[in-house]
Amino acid sequence: MSKQTHSFQAEVAQLLHLVTHSLYSNPEIFLRELISNASDACDKLRFEALNDSSLYGDQPNLEVRLSFDKDARTITITDTGIGMSQQEAIDHLGTIAKSGTKAFMERLSGDQKADAQLIGQFGVGFYSGFIVADRITVESRRAGLPETEAVRWTSNGTGDFSVETITRKERGTSVILHLREDQQEFLSAWKLKSLVSKYSDHISLPILMEKEEWKDGEKEGEPGGMVKTGEWETVNKASALWTRPKKDITTEQYQEFYKSISHDYENPLAWAHNRVEGNTEYTQLLYIPAKAPFDLYTRDKRAGVKLYVKRVFIMDDAEALLPQYLRFVKGVIDSNDLPLNVSRELLQESRDVRLIRDGSVKRVLSMLEDLAKHDRHEAATEGADGVTDVVSEEDKAKEGKYTQFYAEFGAVLKEGLGEDFANRERIARLLRFASTNSDAPTVSLADYKARMKEGQEAIYYITAETLAAAKNSPQLEVFKKKGIEVLLMTDRVDEWALNYLHEFDGTPLQSVARGAIDLGKLQDEEEKKAAEEAAEAFKPLLAKLKEALKDKAEDVRVTARLVDSPACLVVKDGDMSSQMARLLRQAGQSVPVSKPVLEVNPEHPLVKKLDGSVHFNDLAHILFDQALLAEGGQLEDPAAYVKRVNALLA
Ligand code: ADP
């Protein structure tokens, strides 16, 4: 193939621009990213070679070599991994395969500070090389391909790149960075070594650098200098981090390991590292990120946990290892018992995998419980006994983290109610909601229960599209009047998730917009009597309303829910809530038609006026339509509504 020029996919060009303009303040991360790619490439070869050992050819070693050339101003990172064919170089280094990339790019504002925050959610990878280099050359030969079918890829990181066929003796890839004028500080063995130990110590492959030694000047008076000796030495620990004892690993090392497996830019919120022995033996190192990735909600998002078997990398999208609702977790699981040639199908069925999965879910949930427990400390300063609790530094560091976690991943965690029956109670305990007591989503179900009114028999909640709509919903009126707290749910997933949570700790959950409201012991005798009398006295009027609205309402009845509003709509027990129906319709799904129940407030002047009114029919329809509007619904025939209101106004 003679030299060809290709344009970058539009998203790559955008990403490149963003990377070089927003990450220049932290240029050194390029080394972590490129070594991490080199290590992945070696992992992939090892995995493919399980079935075809000829892929190793005459180079059995898997390693990374790091070198620099002061005169040419280059840094080269060479691995003996899987390599790339010509087409792979074009595809992998010229396009971004991640789904959702386009949508992510559209969110960028052009404001460099704000966008630099976002880039962390994306992961920079290979393109981070352009922070320090104004040209990158990649030379690569895919394992199994002949020497004459290697590829050279070159780009200056703006609009396009070129590829040509070359001959390359070694399998694997060399990434050659031609450093920018102002990035010469990286051309030093000392600097590179210190970056390797900072960022890549935990990589399980050896990272080699050529030894240097001091040489005096040739002649008297000429300066001496460091010269290369031709001997290579390993400059990292070269043992996988998770295999080392906990006590030998520093916080920084845990954090760096996280960043290199996740390509995240920020430190994680928490992690758990354990060796599990028992029915099956494995090591888990699981992290909770601080920020949601851009593709948290794309359907084919890759799972974040890498599976190893006896230190050998097997796959990094092993969905079987954690349920969907924990898809934000990153980390490594290394099993001692699974076979090395484990396939995806086998993973689904393996008993060992089931045990690992159960164990990992438990571990993540207890990590979250621990964060939740230490989220707020103001209560822990002085106990009732007058003794002031001392909060350890470690616990103090956890302050506020659960709130942060919940803002990023709370909605995903809720999916667990429907997905993980075995842990439903634990998940429910971890949920937080806004309520009529708190606009911020900080109320746990346990907090709510502890505040329940004497005689209150249910945990009340309402679902709506926005917090304002929930707070101002007419359905809340009687609860406000009686000072009963109601949970306000505005996440899209709430409605669905709540279907799976009928009770919490023995107390039923009850939507205030569903079924006949039974305030039970919260209503006193007098109120009950008044309600019964009203129902009796209103019977003829209700019958008339029912007739007038027979196309719209399933039933019409008097209500105990309302104080200030004339009417509201409720759904029958067992029917889909109107909020859910709206969401499904928006998503383009067909929804079974079920008519709501209209409840009227017998105390309201408008309702009182109905009886005997010459405008009865118009008023009845207005009452219904207003109730629908008040809960955020859409009128079927807005023009007819306007006409009726105008007729009455005139
Ligand atoms: P990511 O690693 O997140 O997929 P990168 O932009 O870092 O994204 O790399 C893009 C792709 O290029 C990788 O997925 C891989 O297929 C390929 N690649 C990068 N570096 C190497 C390498 N050293 N050896 C083989 N393939 C590589």
Tell me which residue has its CA closest to atom 9 in ligand 1: 126
Proportion of the chain in helix, strand, coil states, percent, rounded to 5: 40, 20, 35
To which residue do tokens 């595809």 refer? 91
Q: Are strands 64-69 and 207-215 parallel, antiparallel or unpaired?
A: parallel
Domains of the chain: 4-236 (3.30.565.10), 242-373 (3.30.230.80), 414-521 (3.40.50.11260), 523-649 (1.20.120.790)
For residue 208, give every residue at least 6 positions away whose Cβ sits within 8 Å of its Cβ, in sequence order, or none. Answer: 63, 64, 65, 66, 232, 233, 234, 235
CA of 138 to the centre of ligand 1 (A): 11
Tell me which residue has its CA closest to atom 20 in ligand 1: 37
320 lines ligand 1 (CB under 6 A): no
Which of 40, 78, 139 maximizes ligand 1 atoms within 8 Å of its Cβ, making it the mutation to test the pocket?
Answer: 40
To which residue do tokens 């069925």 refer? 349
- The rounded distance, in Å, linking the Cα atoms of 169 and 174 is 12
Distances (CA, A) of 235 to 2, 28, 36, 209: 39, 17, 15, 7
123 lines ligand 1 (CB under 6 A): yes
Which of 37, 44, 145, 302 maximizes ligand 1 atoms within 8 Å of its Cβ, making it the mutation to test the pocket?
Answer: 37
Q: What are the tokens at 572?
A: 């029958």
Q: What are the tokens at 424?
A: 């439903």
259 lines ligand 1 (CB under 6 A): no
The helix or strand, by DSSP H or E, that contains position 256, with its residue range, turns out to be helix 251-262
CB 289 within 8 A of CB 261: no
The helix or strand, by DSSP H or E, that contains position 413, with its residue range, turns out to be helix 401-419
The helix or strand, by DSSP H or E, that contains position 306, with its residue range, turns out to be strand 305-309
CB 327 within 8 A of CB 292: no
621 lines ligand 1 (CB under 6 A): no
User: What is the atom index within ligand 1 of the atom nearest the CA of 97?
Assistant: 4
94 lines ligand 1 (CB under 6 A): no
Nearest to 143 by CA among 173, 168, 171: 171
Q: Are strands 507-511 and 503-504 parallel, antiparallel or unpaired?
A: antiparallel
Angle at 473 between CA 553 and CA 558, to 5 degrees: 45
Tell me which residue has its CA closest to atom 15 in ligand 1: 92
What pLDDT, on the 0 to 100 scale, is given for residue 591? 77
- The rounded distance, in Å, linking the Cα atoms of 38 and 32 is 10
String of b and e for 417-433 (b: at least 16 CB within 10 Å)? bbbbeebbebbbbbbbb
- The rounded distance, in Å, linking the Cα atoms of 240 and 249 is 11
Tell me which residue has its CA closest to atom 3 in ligand 1: 125
**Tens of pLDDT, residues 572-617:** 877 777 777 777 777 777 777 788 899 999 889 988 888 888 889 9
Tell me which residue has its CA closest to atom 4 in ligand 1: 125
79 lines ligand 1 (CB under 6 A): yes
Determine whether 534 is exposed, middle or buried from the number of CB atoms within 10 Å of its CB (0-12, 13-18, 19+): middle
Nearest to 324 by CA among 345, 308, 303: 303
Rg from Cα positions in the chain: 32
SS3 for 334? strand
Q: Are strands 64-69 and 74-79 parallel, antiparallel or unpaired?
A: antiparallel
CA of 23 to the centre of ligand 1 (A): 19
User: What is the atom index within ligand 1 of the atom nearest the CA of 98?
Assistant: 4
Tell me which residue has its CA closest to atom 17 in ligand 1: 92
Determine whether 208 is exposed, middle or buried from the number of CB atoms within 10 Å of its CB (0-12, 13-18, 19+): buried
Query: Which stretches within 171-250 are classed as H helix?
Result: 189-199
- Is the full-model pTM beyond 0.95? no
pLDDT profile of the chain (650 residues), mean per 10: 89 84 82 92 92 92 96 97 96 84 75 69 84 96 96 94 96 97 94 89 90 85 84 90 93 92 89 93 96 78 82 79 93 90 79 93 96 76 61 85 95 94 96 94 95 91 90 90 93 89 94 76 77 85 92 89 89 76 76 85 88 88 92 86 90
DSSP 448-517: HHHTPPTT--SEEEEE-SSHHHHHT-GGGHHHHHTT---EEE-STTHHHHHTT--EETTEEEEETTBS--
**Tens of pLDDT, residues 30-69:** 998 899 999 999 999 998 998 899 999 999 999 999 999 9
What pLDDT, on the 0 to 100 scale, is given for residue 378? 54
What pLDDT, on the 0 to 100 scale, is given for residue 23? 75
**Tens of pLDDT, residues 197-218:** 888 888 889 999 999 888 888 8
What pLDDT, on the 0 to 100 scale, is given for residue 26? 80
- The β-bridge partners of 443 are 433
The number of residues in the chain equals 650
What pLDDT, on the 0 to 100 scale, is given for residue 159? 86
Which of 76, 126, 295 maximizes ligand 1 atoms within 8 Å of its Cβ, making it the mutation to test the pocket?
Answer: 126
260 lines ligand 1 (CB under 6 A): no
- The rounded distance, in Å, linking the Cα atoms of 289 and 33 is 18
DSSP label of 22: H
289 lines ligand 1 (CB under 6 A): no
To which residue do tokens 């981070």 refer? 128
Angle between helices 29-49 and 189-199 (to 10 degrees): 60
93 lines ligand 1 (CB under 6 A): yes
CA of 40 to the centre of ligand 1 (A): 8
User: What is the atom index within ligand 1 of the atom nearest the CA of 83?
Assistant: 25
To which residue do tokens 């993973």 refer? 347
- The rounded distance, in Å, linking the Cα atoms of 37 and 129 is 12
CA of 92 to the centre of ligand 1 (A): 6
Tell me which residue has its CA closest to atom 23 in ligand 1: 38
For residue 125, give every residue at least 6 positions away whose Cβ sits within 8 Å of its Cβ, in sequence order, or none. Answer: 33, 37, 263
To which residue do tokens 């040489």 refer? 215
Tell me which residue has its CA closest to atom 1 in ligand 1: 125
- The rounded distance, in Å, linking the Cα atoms of 368 and 286 is 12
Q: What are the tokens at 363?
A: 């571990």
What pLDDT, on the 0 to 100 scale, is given for residue 386? 62
82 lines ligand 1 (CB under 6 A): yes
Beta-sheet strand order (sheet of 133-141): 4-7, 160-166, 150-155, 133-141, 172-179, 74-79, 64-69, 207-215, 225-234
Q: Are strands 330-335 and 305-309 parallel, antiparallel or unpaired?
A: parallel
What pLDDT, on the 0 to 100 scale, is given for residue 29? 86
Nearest to 432 by CA among 415, 448, 453, 454: 448
User: What is the atom index within ligand 1 of the atom nearest the CA of 77?
Assistant: 23
170 lines ligand 1 (CB under 6 A): no
293 lines ligand 1 (CB under 6 A): no
8 lines ligand 1 (CB under 6 A): no
